[in-house]
A and B are shown apart, each in its own frame.
Chain A
């Protein structure tokens, strides 16, 4: 039986269409996915992301451990609450998971990982902790729920819903978090809009969700979450990269930090030796149709493949992320094979849309 988040009953009561996602029974939409998408681009929407897993790493060696575990460098985090997006690689340079790590103190980091990879991630981290003799412990926080409130009005509506939260979070910069009582408020998200991700005790989740609904925040399902993140050019683990794909090929080179020569991290040697073999760029379909993952892309430099594709409600065109041969550049005309037909597409730099506006 699929796992349920603490907000499961709220989704059912709101008439959500539920689907299995990584072993969790989750809302895919509450009616119209496109309306939910627009609510986030234009006003405020929220997602139950309690299926994702929060981990707390605490101990004297926590920082040194993470500097060796992650491809991005947590040494950049010096202000309490600052967050960093990073890939966690295997020795072959493939992506075990992508995650967000929050710096709380030099001996305490909060890490949020994907639902589908959570068990694998924890096993890998525990193995690394033991293998490196690290003085730190990893706590699995299934006692916490997570709600992502996103959109141009998301912060203001969160402050209406949670009296007192404004004073604690108004000064947060993008990718920074602060504690508000037992609610952890982070100015992060996966939509390309401003907003918060709230991490809170499971027994407070329903009251917070209901207060947010009352403040005018629209419940949104995983369907809209996917079209929003794809418009924002954000990678989805399992689609755009996995254990066999290098972050350098997946458009995530910006998250790999080679600056400190003295820092080694898992996968570094392979990345340095192999370099980038491919690149990830955006596509906009110029013919009619809808791009999906795993469609063949024909370019002057050879064939590539879409890794995520959808209809973009903001652009009202179909868009995709695609793994393409090196040498293809933004502006190139390419073809995508859909059901045996070759359709015209244009290569663009992602993101396609952010902060309410079409960019591509």
Chain B
């Protein structure tokens, strides 16, 4: 399993990269893409949408099933990755390169509540 140490994670299988400006880049983990199988459709949030922590804000559909993607923290959506929408299979090819959306946290300290790589690996057992 591929769980980069420089990222943060949620128990609901999102990865979070904290950028230098404090914004967060979010995708789904390698573990998640493998469990989902071939990804064929993404529905991502609009820029400007204000979201609550753990709110279902995006949908990822594989050949098998549809799954929700949750906001890792409360905040405002800055951008969705149109390239991933146009090529959903990029999530399978490299889950950490195929980011899904960027979010500006309402409270920078909320990031501290996210899992680290060891914590995520322990969570998925």
Interface residue ranges, A against B (CB under 8 Å)? 17, 28-29, 32-34, 223, 227, 288-290, 292, 310-311, 313, 318, 339
Q: Is the pair B43, A227 in contact by a Cβ cutoff of 8 Å?
A: no
Min distance, Cβ B82 to any Cβ of chain A, angstroms:
13
Q: Is the pair A289, B38 in contact by a Cβ cutoff of 8 Å?
A: no
Task: Name 16 interchain pairs, CB-CB below 8 A, sorted by A.
Answer: A17-B34, A29-B37, A32-B38, A32-B92, A33-B37, A34-B38, A223-B37, A227-B63, A289-B41, A289-B61, A290-B40, A290-B66, A292-B65, A310-B63, A313-B63, A318-B41
Answer yes or no: B64 CB below 8 A from chain A CBs.
yes
Cα–Cα distance between A318 and B62 once the two chains are bound (Å): 11
Q: Is the pair B38, A33 in contact by a Cβ cutoff of 8 Å?
A: yes
Cα–Cα distance between A311 and B88 once the two chains are bound (Å): 12
Min distance, Cβ A165 to any Cβ of chain B, angstroms:
33
Q: Is the pair A223, B63 in contact by a Cβ cutoff of 8 Å?
A: yes
Answer yes or no: B59 CB below 8 A from chain A CBs.
yes
Q: Is the pair A33, B64 in contact by a Cβ cutoff of 8 Å?
A: yes
- Given pairs A289-B41, A311-B41, 14 additional interface contacts (CB within 8 A): A17-B37, A28-B37, A28-B64, A32-B92, A34-B63, A223-B64, A288-B41, A289-B61, A290-B40, A290-B41, A290-B66, A292-B65, A292-B66, A311-B63
Number of residue pairs across A and B with beta carbons under 8 Å?
36
Cα–Cα distance between A204 and B64 once the two chains are bound (Å): 32
Interface members, chain B 56-87 (any A CB < 8 Å): 59, 61, 63-66
Q: Which residues of B sit under 8 angstroms from A33, Cβ to Cβ?
A: 37-38, 63-64
Min distance, Cβ B85 to any Cβ of chain A, angstroms:
8
Cα–Cα distance between A34 and B89 once the two chains are bound (Å): 11
Min distance, Cβ B98 to any Cβ of chain A, angstroms:
16
Cα–Cα distance between A17 and B63 once the two chains are bound (Å): 14
Interchain CB contact (< 8 A) of A311 among B34, B40, B59, B92: B40
Interface of A: prevailing SS: mixed
Min distance, Cβ A38 to any Cβ of chain B, angstroms:
11
Find the A residue at minimum CB distance from B92.
A32
Q: Which residues of B sit under 8 angstroms from A29, Cβ to Cβ?
A: 37
User: Which among B38, B59, B65, B92 has the highest number of chain A CB atoms within 10 Å?
Assistant: B38
Find the B residue at minimum CB distance from A339.
B59
Cα–Cα distance between A34 and B92 once the two chains are bound (Å): 12
Q: Which residues of B sit under 8 angstroms from A313, Cβ to Cβ?
A: 63
Q: Which residues of B sit under 8 angstroms from A34, Cβ to Cβ?
A: 38, 63
Q: Which residues of A sit under 8 angstroms from B59, Cβ to Cβ?
A: 339
Q: Is the pair B43, A289 in contact by a Cβ cutoff of 8 Å?
A: yes
Cα–Cα distance between A69 and B98 once the two chains are bound (Å): 55
* Shortest beta-carbon contacts, A-B, top 10: A311-B40, A290-B61, A34-B38, A33-B63, A290-B41, A311-B63, A33-B37, A33-B38, A32-B38, A223-B64
Min distance, Cβ A37 to any Cβ of chain B, angstroms:
8
Cα–Cα distance between A313 and B89 once the two chains are bound (Å): 12
Min distance, Cβ B77 to any Cβ of chain A, angstroms:
18
Q: Which residues of B sit under 8 angstroms from A223, Cβ to Cβ?
A: 37, 63-64
Cα–Cα distance between A311 and B38 once the two chains are bound (Å): 10
Q: Which residues of A sit under 8 angstroms from B92, Cβ to Cβ?
A: 32
Min distance, Cβ B57 to any Cβ of chain A, angstroms:
12
Find the A residue at minimum CB distance from B42.
A288
Min distance, Cβ B36 to any Cβ of chain A, angstroms:
10
Min distance, Cβ B42 to any Cβ of chain A, angstroms:
9
Find the B residue at minimum CB distance from A310.
B63
Cα–Cα distance between A285 and B40 once the two chains are bound (Å): 14
Find the A residue at minimum CB distance from B34.
A17
Min distance, Cβ B62 to any Cβ of chain A, angstroms:
8
Cα–Cα distance between A199 and B44 once the two chains are bound (Å): 47
Cα–Cα distance between A28 and B59 once the two chains are bound (Å): 22
Q: Which residues of B sit under 8 angstroms from A289, Cβ to Cβ?
A: 41, 43, 61
Find the A residue at minimum CB distance from B89.
A34
Cα–Cα distance between A290 and B37 once the two chains are bound (Å): 14
Q: Which residues of B sit under 8 angstroms from A32, Cβ to Cβ?
A: 37-38, 92
Q: Which residues of B sit under 8 angstroms from A310, Cβ to Cβ?
A: 63
Cα–Cα distance between A28 and B41 once the two chains are bound (Å): 20
User: Which among A28, A290, A292 has the highest number of chain B CB atoms within 10 Å?
Assistant: A290
Find the A residue at minimum CB distance from B56.
A339
Cα–Cα distance between A29 and B92 once the two chains are bound (Å): 14
Find the B residue at minimum CB distance from A317.
B40
Check A311/B37 contact, CB under 8 A, given A290-B66, A292-B66: no
Q: Which residues of A sit under 8 angstroms from B38, Cβ to Cβ?
A: 32-34
Cα–Cα distance between A10 and B65 once the two chains are bound (Å): 26
